[in-house]
Structure 1
Amino acid sequence: MKKMLKGLGAALCVALPFIAQAPADAATASATGAADQTLVQRGAYLAQLGDCAACHTAPKGKPFAGGLPMNTPMGRIYVTNITPDARTGIGGYTEADFARALREGVAKDGHNLYPAMPYPSYAKVDDDDVKALYAFFMHGVAPVQQANRESDIKWPLNMRWPLMFWNMAFLEKGGYRDKPGKDVAWNRGAYLVQGLGHCGSCHTPRGVAFQESALDESGSAFLSGALLDGWFASNLTGEHNTGLGRWSDEDLRTFLKTGANRHASAFGAMTSVINNSTQAMSDQDVAAVSTYLKSLPPVGGTGAAAYTYDPQATKVSLDRPANDAGARVYTAYCMHCHGVDGHGFAPMLAPLAGNPNVLAKDASSLINVTLNGTGDLVIDGVPSPFPMPGFAAVLDDQQIADVLSFVRAGWNNGAPAVGAAEVAKLRQSTQAGR
């Protein structure tokens, strides 16, 4: 589950119907056969669970034809064509080739894939699901002839062979194994979160070699939140302030299906996850994911006391906005959506009081979304009516720092202030090429 914030690059929203492609043509459908179409349909659902479209479909590009840029610590890479085109895609892959690429990060010709492809998570996908995914990509996706683009990573960092040693150190082979003493729902949720959902790819901190610090709940850093590509992916453990500790099971299920609840709204890469993946999950799978995530003990956070709402000091400041630079900006640009009380109009307009993203120690997500806004949540084909606009062209670095400092202190949030230098840094990195 790539999460509540930016995953591995600025993946923009891709229309949900792209996943459920019809067979490439009538001849393909006939050759595949009625029995195999059941497998293809199951594979289409699994591809949604894996959010394959978000990374492998470029904005305005053809489904799964690749080309989307992704930023890594070494430089920019471009995702590959995974349509069944024989020349530029994976049309020449056998099921064994496909399984090796998916679960071990090795392409048909033997070159290693960068771990921006979350194969350490996909290593847990079982054989039956690999078979269904292969059937979908071979018979349920239209072939597109589109050559893959070389990365912008400079020599010698662009050499692939050292990744063999990376895999030896960090890749845990073998599918997910049910945990004894856990019920069916918990194990199903763990399988989806750790495997196809690859939530840890964004929400787990990475080490010096870009490896995830933990791949399951046995590691204390698992899903404790992480900075990636200018966003801070939220803490998904039971931590009270910055995690899911105050979220009910219903809150979490609502967020996964709609991208918004009484605590927060999706933005950044999580918008794409909601649009292309989690809203399509069956109720049973959503419940399983919620069961697993809600079982995780609290980890990380800021060490602050449990959040309690207190509007009084903020209300006084907003009554006299001329005395506070942040309050002046908030009054002019933010208050009509997020309210004097900080509650917003959830779930349509996100609350700021007690919002886990506001309380997080790292303010990158708040800065990024204030500068650049967010894409539309598209639920059942209907775009959200009030997406967050970007203010990069309206507010300078100091004004954004002032208003975010005001928000992070307001309503008893008690989060650290934001500096203008932090805003300037993210403005430069996220506005480049726009």
Structure 2
Amino acid sequence: MSRVTTLFTTLTVALLAPYLAQAQAPDAALIERGAYIATAGDCAACHRTKQSGGPAYAGGYVIASPLGDIVAPNITPSHKAGIGGWSFEDFDRSMRRGVRPDGARLYPAMPYTNYQGISEDDMRALYAFFTNGVKPVDTIAPTTDLPFPFNIRAMMIPWNWMFRSDKPFRPTPALSPAAQRGQYLVETLAHCGSCHTPRNILMAEKNSQAFTGGDVGGWRAPNITSDPVSGIGGWSDQQLVAYFRNGHVAGKGVAAGGMGEAVEHSLRSLSDPDLSAMVAYMRTVAPVRDSADTRAAFGFTQVRPVSLTAYENSDTRDQNAVAGSATIDGARLYAGACASCHGLNGNGSKDGFYPPLVGSSATGSNNPNNLVMTVLTGVDRRGSDGHAFMPAFANDMNDAQVAAVANRVLTQFGNSAVQVDAAQVATLRAGGGKPLLLKLVPWIIGLLGLVLVGLVTVFMKRRFWKS
């Protein structure tokens, strides 16, 4: 009888196996939805390979954080190198709580404090995509190794207790349905605040100053509140959508650095309704004015008289000549490094392919960081309308030369009240100023040492008296 039962069971399982597998496997629509959510979450911008053109989500890309380099891990469904062995619960816990299956804590360079608000349905679609829609890559990404004491991942336990919330996303009831969708995208999936919100001493977002601007690796992520002078209030809805889609808007600005990456890996691929929803929500963010702003950054549209003598007599009329020059004459450097594309008068090309320096947020801002960083690192961005490229001059110009050409641009085409010196350039070249937390490290280590000495002393005294 037992043999008959076993045979019957075996035949039943064999016959039903294809149907059971089909029932367990996510359908194509769910995987496709997960792919879109991954795009909205900008996952590819960090979890890419160190070299461009590598396999998707294979990791290895180095994120230069203020506390040290963080290497993005492999998140393909590889069982050897990625997340192939993760259950949905493992995946959900890492996304919302910043905890890996082995119990190790993630650093908040992974924006799990924002991803906490992802809906259950979206999280399951995201899991379906990463486990069934991504090609597994068996290359193990290098391990992140921050300097002491930040290499102690257990330090994230009290940090999470202070700054991470378990509350699910709840849209503001008074908003329109479109603005509510935009709020979900801006605050959760797109995690805009992770760059555009300033950080406190412990590197957590200052939620009371949300979207008023932040500093990221030398770049200045600008104020994106609805203020017409300091924020995006002076941009039309169409201009904002075009900026998200293409990475540039004539008379407003050009996306570079981290924003350029967001355009290339995320924003340009979102649907028009979602981009419009993001704009609708941003219009509702309370305006915050920077007291240093006298007018909008794109409002500096007057070209000051440009002397042609420096250009006519320049011996630095191309990038190669600039690289071999020791001059710190901003006009001569501009002639060789910039004028061939941006024009002698900073108006760019007539077709707009080479953007104007006049009426640009980078040249009119009260903060020159983005102008300097653009000179140092260049632009390499793909938008919906094509590939934008500007060479980097970090290896061709020293700090004094970068300051000189930046000051030339500011004086002739932008906010002439702002000036740059070589020391500022050196700081930005190194990734920006050190946060206060990093400056306090010697004191923190000293305090920990004193605590340890105190504990040892108490322990030894107790042993002495007991003996």
Q: TM-score range by the shorter chain?
A: 0.7 to 0.9
**Aligned match for 1:407, one of 409, 414, 421:** 409
> Which residue in the other structure is 1:256 paired with?
244
| Local SS of the residue matching 1:400 | helix
> Which residue in the other structure is 2:340 paired with?
336
2:71 aligned with 1:78:
yes
Change (3 A) 1:33 1:343: farther
After TM superposition, the score normalised by the length of structure 2 is 0.78
**Aligned match for 1:182, one of 175, 180, 183:** 175
| Local SS of the residue matching 1:154 | coil
Instruction: Give per-residue Cα distances to partners, 1:188-241, cap 9 Å, x unaligned.
Output: 111101111011111111111110111xxxx3x212221111211222123444
> Which residue in the other structure is 2:89 paired with?
96
> Which residue in the other structure is 1:266 paired with?
255
Change (3 A) 1:415 1:195: farther
> Which residue in the other structure is 2:61 paired with?
68
> Which residue in the other structure is 2:366 paired with?
361
Which residue identity is paired with 1:329? L
CA distance in 1, matches of 2:25, 2:140: 32
CA distance in 2, matches of 1:305, 1:205: 21
Does structure 2 retain, via aligned residues, the 8 Å contact 1:207–1:213? Answer: yes
Change (3 A) 1:349 1:159: same
Give the structure with higher Rg (CA): 2
Q: Comparing 415-424 with 355-364, which one deviates more in the overlay?
A: 355-364
Instruction: Give per-residue Cα distances to partners, 1:283-332, cap 9 Å, x unaligned.
Output: 100100111123323325353322444525x1x24355489943343334
Which residue identity is paired with 1:246? G
Does structure 2 retain, via aligned residues, the 8 Å contact 1:302–1:360? Answer: no
CA distance in 2, matches of 1:270, 1:156: 30
Q: Comparing 122-131 with 394-403, which one deviates more in the overlay?
A: 394-403
Cα shift at 1:407: 2.1
Q: Map residues 415-426 of structure 1 onto 2, 5 A cutoff.
A: 415-426=417-428
Q: Comparing 135-144 with 345-354, which one deviates more in the overlay?
A: 345-354
CA distance in 2, matches of 1:35, 1:189: 27
Change (3 A) 1:77 1:305: closer
Does structure 2 retain, via aligned residues, the 8 Å contact 1:203–1:233? Answer: yes
Cα shift at 1:361: 3.1
Does structure 1 retain, via aligned residues, the 8 Å contact 2:301–2:359? Answer: no
Change (3 A) 1:300 1:358: farther
Cα shift at 1:86: 1.9
Which residue identity is paired with 2:219? W
CA distance in 1, matches of 2:329, 2:26: 66
| Local SS of the residue matching 1:376 | strand
Does structure 1 retain, via aligned residues, the 8 Å contact 2:364–2:414? Answer: no
2:50 aligned with 1:45:
no
Cα shift at 1:333: 2.8
**Aligned match for 1:305, one of 294, 315, 318:** 294
Cα shift at 1:375: 1.4
Change (3 A) 1:347 1:265: farther
Does structure 1 retain, via aligned residues, the 8 Å contact 2:225–2:285? Answer: yes
Alignment length, in residue pairs?
A: 392
CA distance in 1, matches of 2:364, 2:145: 36
Cα shift at 1:242: 4.6
Does structure 2 retain, via aligned residues, the 8 Å contact 1:241–1:359? Answer: no
Does structure 1 retain, via aligned residues, the 8 Å contact 2:61–2:72? Answer: yes
> Which residue in the other structure is 1:197 paired with?
190
2:163 aligned with 1:158:
no
> Which residue in the other structure is 1:282 paired with?
271
Which residue identity is paired with 2:226? G
CA distance in 1, matches of 2:220, 2:85: 38
Q: Comparing 155-164 with 319-328, which one deviates more in the overlay?
A: 319-328
Q: Comparing 201-210 with 154-163, which one deviates more in the overlay?
A: 154-163
CA distance in 1, matches of 2:108, 2:89: 20
Instruction: Give per-residue Cα distances to partners, 1:120-174, cap 9 Å, x unaligned.
Output: 1101111110010011011101112222422231333211112111011001222
CA distance in 1, matches of 2:229, 2:331: 24
Structure 1 gap ranges (5+): 1-26
CA distance in 2, matches of 1:246, 1:340: 28
Q: Comparing 64-73 with 127-136, which one deviates more in the overlay?
A: 64-73
Does structure 1 retain, via aligned residues, the 8 Å contact 2:306–2:412? Answer: no
| Local SS of the residue matching 1:383 | strand
Does structure 1 retain, via aligned residues, the 8 Å contact 2:65–2:217? Answer: yes
Change (3 A) 1:377 1:341: same
CA distance in 2, matches of 1:298, 1:358: 22
2:130 aligned with 1:130:
no
After TM superposition, the score normalised by the length of structure 1 is 0.83
Which residue identity is paired with 2:422? A
Does structure 2 retain, via aligned residues, the 8 Å contact 1:67–1:80? Answer: yes
Hey, which of these two has a bigger chunk of helix by percent? 2
When the two chains are superposed, the root-mean-square deviation of aligned CA atoms in Å is 2.5
CA distance in 1, matches of 2:245, 2:301: 30
CA distance in 1, matches of 2:23, 2:47: 24
Change (3 A) 1:357 1:311: closer
Does structure 1 retain, via aligned residues, the 8 Å contact 2:268–2:383? Answer: no
Change (3 A) 1:294 1:334: farther
Q: Comparing 276-285 with 33-42, which one deviates more in the overlay?
A: 33-42
**Aligned match for 1:213, one of 201, 206, 209:** 206
> Which residue in the other structure is 2:132 paired with?
139
Which residue identity is paired with 2:130? F
> Which residue in the other structure is 1:326 paired with?
330
Which residue identity is paired with 1:208? I
Structure 2 gap ranges (5+): 1-17, 314-327, 433-467
Cα shift at 1:393: 3.5
